[in-house]
């Protein structure tokens, strides 16, 4: 398989960054980051990665410990043993067994706008409405 227009970069576990990280192509990150990650490419987090900040990417493969929100244009893939504290939003989402995830998800592959809640099925009464009782003692 050949990749066009993207380069693969690796930042190993001995890397510690305080600040924002911006790149193109693909990055495997196994270090510590206090800041934001922004890319139109793919972020692949290693098992030892520690991120304190938000991530915005096309694709994110999540491992390690993340304290921040993740927004992906395409897919978020959360691997086993990941600890994720933050909200996530993507078109596609995969979560393996054994993940610790505390936050909200929004998975919307067809970019559908929210609609009104469904009406109660026929025969069901709304929870707060009661039939009127006239002249009953």
| 72 in any annotated domain | yes
| 29 in any annotated domain | yes
- 21 φ/ψ angles, rounded to the nearest 5 degrees: -120, 125
User: Strand pairing of 26-29 and 8-11?
Assistant: parallel
Domain that holds residue 51: 8-107
Mean pLDDT of 41-65: 98
Residue 41's pLDDT is what? 96
* Of the candidates 82, 83, 77, the residue with the CA atom closest to the CA atom of residue 60: 77
**DSSP string across 55-84:** EEEEEEEE-SEEES-EEEEEEEEEPTT-EE
Residue 60's pLDDT is what? 98
Residue 2's pLDDT is what? 38
CA atoms of 123 and 120, how far apart (whole Å): 8
| 82 in any annotated domain | yes
Residue 64's pLDDT is what? 98
Q: What total of structural domains would you count in the chain?
A: 1
Residue 110's pLDDT is what? 81
Q: Look up the pTM and report it.
A: 0.77
For 104-117, letters b (16+ CB in 10 Å) and e give eeeeeeeeeeeeee
Q: Which of 13-27, 46-60, 122-136 has the lowest mean pLDDT?
A: 122-136
**What mean pLDDT is reported for the chain?**
87
pLDDT bin (cut points 50, 70, 90) of residue 8 is confident
Residue 85's pLDDT is what? 98
| 59 in any annotated domain | yes
Residue 118's pLDDT is what? 65
| 134 in any annotated domain | no
What is the tens place of the pLDDT at every residue in 9-27?
999 999 999 999 999 999 9
CA angle, 27 as apex, 23 and 28 as ends, to 5°?
150
CA atoms of 62 and 64, how far apart (whole Å): 7
CA atoms of 72 and 128, how far apart (whole Å): 40
| 15 in any annotated domain | yes
C-beta separation of 9 from 26 below 8 A? yes
Residue 127's pLDDT is what? 57
| 113 in any annotated domain | no
Residue 130's pLDDT is what? 55
- 102 φ/ψ angles, rounded to the nearest 5 degrees: -125, 110
| 129 in any annotated domain | no
């Amino acid at each position: 398989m050949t990749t066009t227009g993207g380069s693969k970069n690796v930042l190993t576990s001995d890397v510690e960054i305080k600040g924002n990280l911006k790149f193109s192509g693909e990055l495997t990150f196994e270090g510590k980051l206090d800041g934001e990650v922004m890319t139109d490419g793919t972020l692949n987090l290693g098992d030892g990665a520690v991120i304190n900040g938000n991530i915005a990417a096309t694709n994110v493969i999540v491992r390690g410990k993340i304290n921040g929100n993740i927004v992906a244009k395409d897919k978020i893939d959360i691997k086993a043993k990941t600890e994720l504290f933050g909200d996530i939003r993507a078109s596609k989402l995969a979560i393996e067994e054994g993940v610790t995830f505390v936050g909200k998800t929004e998975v919307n592959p067809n970019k559908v706008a929210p609609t009104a809640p469904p009406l109660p099925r026929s025969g069901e009464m709304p929870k707060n409405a009661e039939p009127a009782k006239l002249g009953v003692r």
